[in-house]
Amino acid sequence: RVTFFSRSQRLIDEAVTVKTRDCCIEEVSIDVEEVPFNRGFYSVDITFYFKLCFDTYSAPCTTPQVAVGFAKFNKKCILFGSNGDVKVFVS
């Protein structure tokens, strides 16, 4: 699902043709927590925030106008880190 601000939403609503121009990752949020029932395993939640640009055409053979939208994607997984004693040093 792509979310548009009002100007871009109007361009999308009035468009005859929409083509993807660009997509880039704007932000990534990572949350790591220990799994309580399995020693050495960690729950990792990653949220990606994407900025998408679209060429919108209000009629055939016209100059495109750019509409900008945003989307997010969540990925959750459990990873094994270690089950030995680990010493962490921070300076």
Q: What is the pLDDT along the chain (91 residues), one digit of tens a residue?
A: 999 999 999 999 999 999 999 999 999 999 999 988 888 889 999 999 999 999 999 998 899 999 999 999 999 999 887 766 666 666 6
Q: Strands 41-57 and 17-34, how do they pair?
A: antiparallel
In a domain, 33, yes or no: yes
The structure tokens 């989307």 sit at 71
Domain range for 19 is 3-80
Q: In sequence order, what are the residues at sequence separation of 6 or more whose Cβ sits closer than 8 angstroms to the Cβ of residue 24?
A: 50, 51
Residue 50 inside a domain? The answer is yes
Q: In what order do the strands lie in the sheet with 3-4?
A: 3-4, 65-80, 41-57, 17-34
pLDDT at 89: 62
pLDDT of residue 91: 63
Question: Is residue 25 included in any domain, yes or no?
Answer: yes
The reported pLDDT for the residue numbered 88 is 64
- Please give the C-alpha separations between residue 88 and each of 35, 53, 91, in angstroms, as whole numbers: 19, 43, 10
pTM (2 decimals)?
Answer: 0.76
Domain count, the chain: 1
Check if the beta carbon of residue 38 is closer than 8 Å to that of residue 48.
no
